[in-house]
Homo-oligomer: A and B are copies of this chain.
């Protein structure tokens, strides 16, 4: 059956690349640009207008860009003003609000909720039900697990918006809370259910509420696995060093620079 354009609405002001397919009952609003070979599944809304759309006669929908080779699963909502790189994939029922910028090769799992003005690097993976509040930012190769949350209001309620930052390669466990405005260094592992309440130096293993830096992650020994962190030498699925190894990839990269 594949895609058969049943009740699909694409604005005449949207630009679809070659071989883009749009699922049943999906809506693509003005000024959305979708790269070649991308797939939008059923019941999605792409280029969701901002609130002023409903009030201002002369509203123009901000430009939305989705790169090539995307796979966006059903019931997802991506706001106008977002820019998403190539090879993006999503789960179902995701929401990405306005002016969010996401790099290449990222995935955003089912029920994720990315508030506006968020910046996410390349090769990041948000598993299901991750909540990122406004103005937070995330490096490259960062993974967040279900029910983890980055907050941004240090003294709620307030008009302050202080999103934090997560450094590249860091892993954020299930049910982790990152309090507003904090910096988590590169290559950390934040254990399940921790509350990050101060800045975290790179290579930290963090646990607990209140959090403690338990040890340098490079010294962390797991029975039968040796020292599994940093993880890049033992995991490569979907990473740019897949098949060649992280060290070799880094050398090639450095040689090119």
Residue of B nearest to A77 (CB): B92
A146 x B131 contact (CB < 8 A): yes
A53 to chain B, nearest CB (A): 8
Within 8 A of B (CB), among A148-179: 149, 151, 154-159, 171, 173-175, 177, 179
Q: From residue A104, how far is it (CB to closest CB) to chain B in Å?
A: 18
CA distance A131 to B129 in the complex (A): 9
**Chain multiplicity (copies):** 3
- Please tell me if the beta carbons of A193 and B209 are within 8 angstroms of each other in the complex: yes
- Report if A156-B171 is in contact (Cβ < 8 Å); known contacts: A39-B54, A91-B95, A195-B193: yes
Q: How far is the CB of A4 from chain B (nearest CB, A)?
A: 9
Q: Chain A 92-114, CB within 8 Å of chain B: the 1/0 string?
A: 11010000000000000011010
- The verdict on A222 contacting chain B, using a C-beta distance below 8 Å, is yes
Determine chain A's interface SS by DSSP, over half rule.
loop
Q: List B contacts of A177 (CB < 8 A).
A: 174-175, 192-193
Given A21-B54, A131-B147, 11 extra CB contacts under 8 A: A7-B25, A24-B27, A41-B45, A43-B45, A43-B75, A45-B75, A75-B93, A111-B113, A113-B146, A157-B235, A177-B193
